[in-house]
């Protein structure tokens, strides 16, 4: 019989290494992972047998665990959907999850070991966890509808083999050859405890059979769907186990378990995780809530159950009003499903609102993890835009604590009618933005928009509670009606006269020409000599940069250069212009100032060579003068 040898894909090999050497301090979870897979396989078979006549069957689906201390093996078998030869190769030879590569790169870049662990902790590796306790794993499986069973085997190093199996199975049988120093896993008592602890909620009987004691089969779990049990009878540990079974890590941040009776009736058991998964921003933005009807699993790929912006939610929805045969194509137009989805989203949002109002610290933790995904809804969910933004939180110049827009409005100054914001790649970059200076010195609060999605929903909102949004890097903002808070920074100096500034501006314009859209005396600057702003009608500076980065825009627009009339540098330059001394200095400094403003925005100088030459020349002059 031919035996094929395959190497694991490079990424899989790396993951294996991480798993075996450092992943879980708690090795017991390998059994949870394998039983979870068996349970999923039984779900799929049950669905198939109920929806496809050629697979109709009345067999009882179950999961068996055999312990053989003599042979030093632990066997987990199920009569679920099974795997064909190709499926064995693709499912157990590669890690299909997209984003794995980026994730692994993230891990290798992290220097701190604890960070590594918290990163790895987010990454469920399922089947591979078997290699934590076994030095060899054999899988015999037969895909439903195929004729032959196949035998997959690997020592978890770099390769696996596959061949036709002598033994025929109905489903999948996984044999772990337990490592010498993990003999505890050959103790039935130990296994029984682990299954009870982690897999009690599995809806199929999990039975334990010890070698030589085949008559003493023991059922280890309650084998009923957890979500259908009465809330009062469920302990928090049981919710936690179920959450882990769904691929959640650690404890859920929030559990939402309800039964809704009405035109359509359904039960939902949903979890919001504590930490964002590494693939939250994968382009596919897939949701993963599982859809059941009368406890029969239909799909975990129902895109119409929850909108993408709630894709971090894990869980189960079970409704007797959904037809088992609902096809994926039909789902979109399925009236019952639409009603369920609507009710579900409203339920989730009202739960979040409660936390926003009553559990603020905890809610901030949630928002720090998932806010960037959540805010996609402001852009995408037209109907709920307002309720989403009501409970969205932002960083602002007010301090460390996050703020809602309503809270911002309550702190607005007497004559302030607009919500001031600045967007940027991150807080560090925003904090160095010169445009903020004039707002801070006047005690005007500015909201920091640091998530890329902010650039998308902001233009679609225009205003909130009657207050227009106003980017402080765009258009003229009249700050003259707000007094500068003198005591804060006694640095506020006497500005140059209007006449002097006008003269300087007109001189600078002759040197900078069409490299700038305009040059203006700024009200926004206190400490910096210059900054760039965009025209009122133009795109926000950060949005434009983002569009260029994503190749949606190829040309950079020319900006307005604002100069600070109170800054010594500007005043001195004004004097040089007045005395009509060295014109070339004015030209060099004008160019340097423009480039300085660009650098602060994270842009390159317009002409790098010219920039360094001018800079050297000015430094030389000042050192020798």
Q: Which of 23, 65, 67, 83 binds ligand ADP (CB under 6 A)?
A: 83
562 lies in the binding site for ligand ADP (CB under 6 A): no
CB nearer to ligand ADP: give 93 or 452.
Answer: 93
Which range in 35-43, 108-116, 144-152, 487-495 contacts ligand ADP by CB under 6 A? 35-43
Under the criterion CB under 6 A, does residue 124 sit at the interface with ligand ADP?
Answer: yes
Nearer to ligand ADP, 26 or 406 (CB): 26
Q: Which of 23, 31, 35, 37 binds ligand ADP (CB under 6 A)?
A: 37
User: Coil, strand, or helix at residue 78?
Assistant: strand
Instruction: Please state, in angstroms and rounded to a whole number, the distance separating the CA atoms of residues 607 and 589.
Output: 14
Interface with ligand ADP: number of residues (CB under 6 A): 16
Q: Spell 31-51 as b/e; 16+ CB within 10 A means b.
A: bbbbbbbbbbbbbbbbbbbbb
Please provide the distance, in angstroms rounded to a whole number, between the alpha carbons at the two ends of the chain: 90
Nearest-CB residue for ligand ADP = 126
H or E stretch including 4?
Answer: strand 3-7
Chain residues 283-302 in contact with ligand ADP, contact rule CB under 6 A: none
Q: Tell me which stretch binds ligand ADP (CB under 6 A): 124-132, 369-377, 524-532, 609-617.
A: 124-132
d(C-alpha 539, C-alpha 601), whole Å:
15
Q: Report the phi/psi class of residue 466: left, alpha or beta, with left for phi > 0 and alpha for psi in -120 to 50.
A: left
Rg (CA), the chain: 32
Q: Which residue stretch of 37-45, 355-363, 413-421, 477-485 sits at the interface with ligand ADP (rule: CB under 6 A)? A: 37-45
Spatial distance between the Cα atoms of 20 and 370, rounded to a whole number of angstroms: 30
169 to 198, contacts with ligand ADP by CB under 6 A? 172
- Quote the CA–CA distance of 315 and 325 in Å, as a whole number: 21
Q: How far is the CB of 323 from ligand ADP (least distance, A)?
A: 25
Nearer to ligand ADP, 33 or 455 (CB): 33
Q: Exposed, middle or buried by CB within 10 Å (0-12, 13-18, 19+), for 172?
A: buried
The least CB distance from residue 106 to ligand ADP, in Å, is 19
* Count of C-beta atoms within a 10 Å radius of residue 259: 14
Q: How far is the CB of 167 from ligand ADP (least distance, A)?
A: 16
Q: Is 79 in the site for ligand ADP (CB under 6 A)?
A: no
- 206 contacts ligand ADP (rule: CB under 6 A): no
Q: Which residue, 89 or 569, is less far from ligand ADP as judged by CB?
A: 89
Q: Does 78 bind ligand ADP (CB under 6 A)?
A: yes
Q: What does the DSSP 8-state code read for residue 604?
A: P
**The only residue of 62, 84, 91, 522 in contact with ligand ADP, by rule CB under 6 A:** 91
Longest CA–CA separation in the chain, Å: 107
Among 29, 31, 81, 220, binds ligand ADP (CB under 6 A): 81
Stretch that binds ligand ADP, among 34-42, 312-320, 381-389, 478-486 (CB under 6 A): 34-42
Q: How far is the CB of 451 from ligand ADP (least distance, A)?
A: 28
Residue 353, C-beta contacts closer than 8 angstroms, at least 6 positions apart? 387, 390, 391
The residue whose two tokens read 């190709």 is 86
What is the Cα–Cα distance from 14 to 18, expressed in whole angstroms?
6
The owner of tokens 């984003």 is: 99
Residue 38 vs 533, nearer CB to ligand ADP:
38
Q: Are 381 and 388 in contact (CB under 8 A)?
A: yes
Segment lying near ligand ADP (by CB under 6 A), choices 73-81, 482-490, 553-561, 585-593: 73-81
Three-state DSSP class for residue 421 = strand
Q: Does 126 bind ligand ADP (CB under 6 A)?
A: yes
Determine, following the binding rule CB under 6 A, whether residue 80 of this chain makes contact with ligand ADP. yes
Burial class (CB in 10 A: 0-12, 13-18, 19+), 481: exposed
Binding residue (CB under 6 A) for ligand ADP from 38, 49, 267, 423: 38
Min separation Cβ 143 and ligand ADP, Å? 8
Q: Does 123 bind ligand ADP (CB under 6 A)?
A: no
Residues in contact with ligand ADP by the rule CB under 6 A: 33, 37-38, 41, 78, 80-83, 91-92, 124, 126-128, 172
């Amino acid at each position: 019989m031919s035996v094929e040898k395959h190497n694991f894909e490079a990424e899989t090999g790396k993951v294996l290494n991480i798993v075996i050497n450092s992943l879980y301090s708690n090795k017991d979870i390998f059994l949870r992972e394998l039983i979870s897979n068996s349970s999923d396989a039984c779900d799929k078979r049950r669905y198939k047998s109920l929806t496809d006549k050629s697979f109709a069957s009345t067999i009882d689906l179950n999961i068996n665990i055999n312990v053989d201390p003599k042979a030093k093996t632990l066997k987990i078998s199920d009569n679920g959907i099974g795997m064909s030869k190709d499926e064995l190769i693709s499912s157990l030879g590669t890690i299909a999850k997209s984003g794995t590569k980026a994730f692994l790169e993230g891990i290798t870049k992290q220097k701190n070991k604890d960070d590594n662990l918290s990163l790895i902790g987010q990454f469920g590796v399922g089947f591979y966890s078997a290699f934590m306790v076994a030095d060899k794993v054999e899988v015999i499986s037969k895909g439903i509808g195929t004729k032959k069973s196949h035998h997959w085997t690997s020592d978890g190093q770099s390769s696996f083999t596959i061949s036709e199996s002598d033994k025929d199975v109905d489903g999948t049988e996984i044999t772990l050859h337990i490592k010498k120093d993990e003999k505890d896993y050959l103790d039935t008592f130990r296994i029984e405890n682990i299954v009870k602890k982690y897999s009690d909620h599995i809806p199929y009987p999990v039975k334990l059979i010890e070698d030589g004691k085949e008559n003493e089969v023991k059922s280890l779990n309650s084998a009923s769907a957890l979500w259908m049990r009465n809330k009062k009878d469920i302990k928090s540990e049981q919710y936690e186990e179920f959450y882990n079974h769904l691929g959640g890590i650690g404890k859920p941040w929030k559990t939402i378990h309800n039964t809704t009776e009405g035109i359509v009736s359904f039960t939902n058991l949903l979890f919001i995780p504590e930490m964002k998964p590494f693939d939250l921003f994968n382009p596919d933005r897939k949701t993963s809530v599982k859809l059941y009807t009368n406890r029969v699993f239909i799909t975990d790929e129902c895109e119409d159950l929850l909108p993408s912006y709630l894709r971090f939610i894990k869980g189960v929805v079970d409704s007797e009003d959904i037809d088992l045969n609902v096809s994926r194509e039909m789902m979109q137009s399925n009236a019952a499903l639409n009603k369920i989805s609507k009710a579900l989203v409203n339920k989730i949002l009202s739960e979040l609102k409660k936390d926003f109002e009553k559990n603020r610290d905890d809610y901030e933790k949630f928002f720090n993890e998932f806010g960037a995904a959540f805010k996609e809804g402001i852009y995408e969910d037209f109907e709920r835009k307002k309720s989403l933004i009501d409970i969205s939180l932002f960083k602002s110049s007010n301090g460390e604590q996050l703020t809602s827009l309503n809270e911002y409005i309550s702190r607005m100054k007497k004559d302030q009618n607009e919500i001031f914001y600045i967007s940027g790649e991150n807080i560090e970059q925003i904090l160095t933005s010169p445009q903020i200076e004039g707002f801070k010195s006047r005690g005007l609060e500015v909201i920091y928009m640091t998530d890329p999605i902010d650039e998308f929903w902001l233009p679609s909102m225009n205003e909130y509670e009657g207050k227009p949004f106003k980017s402080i890097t765009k258009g003229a903002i009249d700050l003259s009606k707000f007094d500068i808070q003198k005591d804060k920074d006694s640095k506020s100096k006497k500005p140059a006269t209007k006449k002097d500034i006008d003269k300087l501006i007109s001189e600078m314009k002759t040197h900078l020409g069409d490299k700038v859209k305009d040059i203006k005396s700024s009200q926004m600057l206190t400490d910096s000599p210059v900054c760039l702003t965009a025209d009122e009608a133009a795109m926000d500076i950060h949005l434009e940069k983002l569009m260029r980065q994503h190749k949606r825009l190829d040309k950079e627009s020319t900006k307005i250069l604002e100069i600070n009339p109170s800054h010594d540098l500007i005043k001195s330059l004004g004097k040089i212009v007045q005395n009509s001394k060295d014109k070339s200095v004015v030209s060099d400094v004008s160019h340097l100032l423009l480039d300085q403003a660009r650098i602060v925005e994270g842009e390159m100088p317009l002409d790098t060579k010219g920039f360094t030459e001018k800079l050297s020349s000015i430094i030389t002059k000042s050192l020798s003068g």
